[in-house]
Amino acid sequence: MTLTVSKSKRGQFFSADAIIAAVIFIMGLSILTAQWFSVRAQADAQANYLLDDAHRVSDLLLNAGSPLDWYVNPAAANSSGFGQFGTRVGILNQSAMRSAMGYINADQTANLGRYNQTKQLLSVSSEFYVQINVSCLNSGAPAYPSSGANGFPLIAIGSEPMKPTQVSRVVRDIVIPVSSGITNPPVYYYYGTMTVTMWTNKSTI
Protein backbone atom coordinates (compact mmCIF):
# COMPACT_ATOMS: atom_id res chain seq x y z
CA MET A 1 0.00 0.00 0.00
CA THR A 2 1.40 3.39 -0.96
CA LEU A 3 0.70 6.59 1.07
CA THR A 4 0.49 9.64 -1.05
CA VAL A 5 0.37 13.34 -0.05
CA SER A 6 -1.06 15.84 -2.40
CA LYS A 7 1.36 18.48 -3.62
CA SER A 8 -0.99 21.27 -2.61
CA LYS A 9 -1.18 20.14 1.04
CA ARG A 10 2.57 19.55 1.26
CA GLY A 11 3.26 23.03 -0.06
CA GLN A 12 0.81 24.64 2.37
CA PHE A 13 2.38 22.87 5.37
CA PHE A 14 5.91 23.92 4.41
CA SER A 15 4.94 27.51 3.73
CA ALA A 16 3.13 28.04 7.06
CA ASP A 17 5.94 26.40 9.05
CA ALA A 18 8.61 28.49 7.33
CA ILE A 19 6.72 31.73 7.80
CA ILE A 20 6.22 31.15 11.54
CA ALA A 21 9.89 30.19 12.03
CA ALA A 22 11.06 33.21 10.06
CA VAL A 23 8.85 35.57 12.09
CA ILE A 24 10.15 34.14 15.39
CA PHE A 25 13.75 34.38 14.17
CA ILE A 26 13.38 37.98 13.00
CA MET A 27 11.66 39.02 16.25
CA GLY A 28 14.40 37.39 18.34
CA LEU A 29 17.14 38.94 16.24
CA SER A 30 15.51 42.37 16.51
CA ILE A 31 15.27 42.11 20.30
CA LEU A 32 18.90 41.01 20.65
CA THR A 33 20.11 43.75 18.33
CA ALA A 34 18.16 46.43 20.19
CA GLN A 35 19.50 45.15 23.51
CA TRP A 36 23.09 45.14 22.23
CA PHE A 37 22.85 48.71 20.97
CA SER A 38 21.29 49.80 24.26
CA VAL A 39 24.08 48.24 26.33
CA ARG A 40 26.73 49.66 23.99
CA ALA A 41 25.21 53.15 24.16
CA GLN A 42 25.07 52.99 27.95
CA ALA A 43 28.71 51.87 28.18
CA ASP A 44 29.84 54.64 25.82
CA ALA A 45 27.88 57.23 27.81
CA GLN A 46 29.51 56.06 31.07
CA ALA A 47 32.98 56.11 29.52
CA ASN A 48 32.45 59.66 28.23
CA TYR A 49 31.11 60.73 31.62
CA LEU A 50 34.18 59.36 33.41
CA LEU A 51 36.56 60.93 30.90
CA ASP A 52 34.90 64.33 31.31
CA ASP A 53 35.25 63.98 35.08
CA ALA A 54 38.92 62.97 34.76
CA HIS A 55 39.70 66.09 32.73
CA ARG A 56 37.79 68.35 35.11
CA VAL A 57 39.34 66.84 38.26
CA SER A 58 42.85 67.07 36.81
CA ASP A 59 42.26 70.77 36.09
CA LEU A 60 41.20 71.31 39.70
CA LEU A 61 44.16 69.43 41.18
CA LEU A 62 46.71 71.37 39.12
CA ASN A 63 45.65 74.52 40.95
CA ALA A 64 46.07 75.42 44.61
CA GLY A 65 43.35 74.32 47.02
CA SER A 66 41.58 76.58 49.47
CA PRO A 67 42.67 76.32 52.19
CA LEU A 68 46.05 74.85 51.27
CA ASP A 69 45.47 71.95 53.69
CA TRP A 70 41.94 71.32 52.40
CA TYR A 71 42.41 67.54 52.72
CA VAL A 72 42.37 67.78 56.54
CA ASN A 73 38.67 68.70 56.48
CA PRO A 74 37.32 68.45 52.91
CA ALA A 75 33.75 69.10 54.08
CA ALA A 76 34.70 72.65 55.09
CA ALA A 77 37.04 73.38 52.16
CA ASN A 78 36.30 75.79 49.34
CA SER A 79 38.28 73.90 46.70
CA SER A 80 40.77 71.06 46.29
CA GLY A 81 44.14 71.13 44.56
CA PHE A 82 47.86 70.52 44.91
CA GLY A 83 49.16 73.52 43.01
CA GLN A 84 51.88 75.69 44.50
CA PHE A 85 50.18 78.89 45.64
CA GLY A 86 51.21 81.96 43.65
CA THR A 87 52.78 80.01 40.76
CA ARG A 88 51.58 78.96 37.34
CA VAL A 89 49.24 76.01 36.85
CA GLY A 90 51.00 72.64 36.96
CA ILE A 91 53.66 73.48 39.57
CA LEU A 92 52.70 71.25 42.49
CA ASN A 93 53.26 71.39 46.22
CA GLN A 94 54.97 68.15 47.22
CA SER A 95 54.30 68.73 50.92
CA ALA A 96 50.55 68.98 50.30
CA MET A 97 50.50 65.84 48.16
CA ARG A 98 52.42 63.76 50.66
CA SER A 99 50.26 64.99 53.53
CA ALA A 100 47.07 64.25 51.58
CA MET A 101 48.03 60.57 51.35
CA GLY A 102 47.62 60.31 55.11
CA TYR A 103 44.17 61.90 55.09
CA ILE A 104 42.15 60.85 52.04
CA ASN A 105 43.49 57.47 50.91
CA ALA A 106 40.51 55.12 50.86
CA ASP A 107 42.59 52.03 51.71
CA GLN A 108 42.68 53.24 55.32
CA THR A 109 39.36 52.80 57.14
CA ALA A 110 39.86 55.96 59.18
CA ASN A 111 40.09 57.98 55.97
CA LEU A 112 36.87 56.81 54.28
CA GLY A 113 34.88 59.75 55.62
CA ARG A 114 37.36 62.31 54.29
CA TYR A 115 37.65 60.40 51.00
CA ASN A 116 33.88 60.58 50.46
CA GLN A 117 33.90 64.25 51.46
CA THR A 118 36.60 64.83 48.85
CA LYS A 119 34.38 63.21 46.21
CA GLN A 120 31.66 65.68 47.13
CA LEU A 121 34.17 68.53 46.96
CA LEU A 122 35.21 67.35 43.49
CA SER A 123 31.55 66.86 42.51
CA VAL A 124 32.06 63.27 41.38
CA SER A 125 29.97 60.16 42.00
CA SER A 126 32.57 57.68 40.73
CA GLU A 127 35.83 56.78 42.47
CA PHE A 128 39.09 58.68 41.90
CA TYR A 129 42.75 57.74 42.06
CA VAL A 130 45.66 60.16 41.59
CA GLN A 131 49.24 59.07 40.93
CA ILE A 132 52.27 61.35 40.82
CA ASN A 133 55.39 60.06 39.06
CA VAL A 134 58.68 61.83 38.54
CA SER A 135 60.11 60.84 35.17
CA CYS A 136 63.11 63.16 34.91
CA LEU A 137 64.92 65.85 36.85
CA ASN A 138 67.01 68.91 36.12
CA SER A 139 70.76 68.59 35.75
CA GLY A 140 72.65 68.23 38.99
CA ALA A 141 69.63 67.49 41.16
CA PRO A 142 69.81 64.52 43.55
CA ALA A 143 67.33 61.68 43.47
CA TYR A 144 63.82 62.75 44.35
CA PRO A 145 63.18 62.56 48.13
CA SER A 146 61.74 59.21 49.22
CA SER A 147 61.98 57.89 45.68
CA GLY A 148 60.73 54.41 44.95
CA ALA A 149 62.05 51.63 42.72
CA ASN A 150 64.23 52.76 39.81
CA GLY A 151 64.17 56.31 41.16
CA PHE A 152 60.48 56.72 40.32
CA PRO A 153 58.56 57.99 43.33
CA LEU A 154 54.90 57.19 43.58
CA ILE A 155 52.49 59.45 45.37
CA ALA A 156 49.10 57.74 45.32
CA ILE A 157 45.98 59.48 46.56
CA GLY A 158 42.38 58.25 46.59
CA SER A 159 41.01 54.78 45.86
CA GLU A 160 42.97 52.33 43.72
CA PRO A 161 40.78 50.65 41.05
CA MET A 162 39.44 47.27 42.19
CA LYS A 163 37.69 45.16 39.52
CA PRO A 164 36.38 48.24 37.70
CA THR A 165 33.69 47.98 35.03
CA GLN A 166 34.60 51.38 33.56
CA VAL A 167 37.89 53.32 33.72
CA SER A 168 39.06 56.63 32.25
CA ARG A 169 42.48 58.20 32.71
CA VAL A 170 43.99 61.59 32.01
CA VAL A 171 47.75 62.26 32.21
CA ARG A 172 49.04 65.80 32.83
CA ASP A 173 52.58 67.16 32.89
CA ILE A 174 53.73 68.57 36.23
CA VAL A 175 56.70 70.25 37.89
CA ILE A 176 57.59 69.75 41.57
CA PRO A 177 59.95 72.32 43.12
CA VAL A 178 61.93 71.09 46.15
CA SER A 179 64.16 73.23 48.33
CA SER A 180 67.79 72.28 47.76
CA GLY A 181 69.02 73.42 51.17
CA ILE A 182 71.88 75.27 49.52
CA THR A 183 72.39 78.74 48.10
CA ASN A 184 72.98 77.80 44.49
CA PRO A 185 70.60 76.57 43.31
CA PRO A 186 68.06 77.24 46.07
CA VAL A 187 65.45 75.01 44.43
CA TYR A 188 65.55 71.78 42.42
CA TYR A 189 62.80 71.23 39.85
CA TYR A 190 61.54 67.70 39.29
CA TYR A 191 59.48 66.93 36.19
CA GLY A 192 56.89 64.24 35.84
CA THR A 193 53.23 63.38 35.34
CA MET A 194 50.01 63.36 37.27
CA THR A 195 47.61 60.57 36.27
CA VAL A 196 43.99 61.03 37.30
CA THR A 197 41.92 57.85 37.10
CA MET A 198 38.14 57.91 37.40
CA TRP A 199 36.55 54.49 37.80
CA THR A 200 33.51 52.54 38.91
CA ASN A 201 32.61 48.91 39.47
CA LYS A 202 28.89 49.60 39.19
CA SER A 203 26.79 48.86 36.14
CA THR A 204 25.57 52.47 36.06
CA ILE A 205 26.99 55.70 37.45
Q: Does 146 score more than 70 pLDDT?
A: no
Question: In this structure, is residue 173 part of a structural domain?
Answer: yes
Residue range 174-182: average pLDDT?
A: 84
| Chain segment 4-24, per-residue pLDDT in tens | 555 555 545 557 777 777 778
Q: Does residue 8 belong to any structural domain of this protein?
A: no
Tens-place pLDDT, residues 89-137: 889 998 999 999 999 998 888 899 999 999 999 999 999 999 998 866 6
7 inside domain: no
Residue 41 lies in a domain: no
- Would you say 83 and 73 are in contact if contact means Cβ atoms under 8 Å apart? no
User: Into how many domains does the chain fold?
Assistant: 1
Domain enclosing residue 95, as ranges: 48-200
| Residue 34 belongs to some domain of the structure | no
Please indicate, yes or no, if residue 117 is contained in any of the structural domains: yes
| Any domain includes 68 | yes
pLDDT value for 35: 67
Residue 53: inside a domain: yes
pLDDT band, residue 140 (cuts 50/70/90): low
More confident position, 151 or 49: 49
Report H helices in the chain: 7-61, 94-104, 112-122
CB contact at 8 A, 162 and 178: no
Q: Which is it for strands 127-137 and 64-66: parallel, antiparallel or unpaired? A: unpaired
Among residues 165, 146, 148, 159, which one has the least CA distance to residue 205?
165
More confident of the two residues 140 and 63: 63
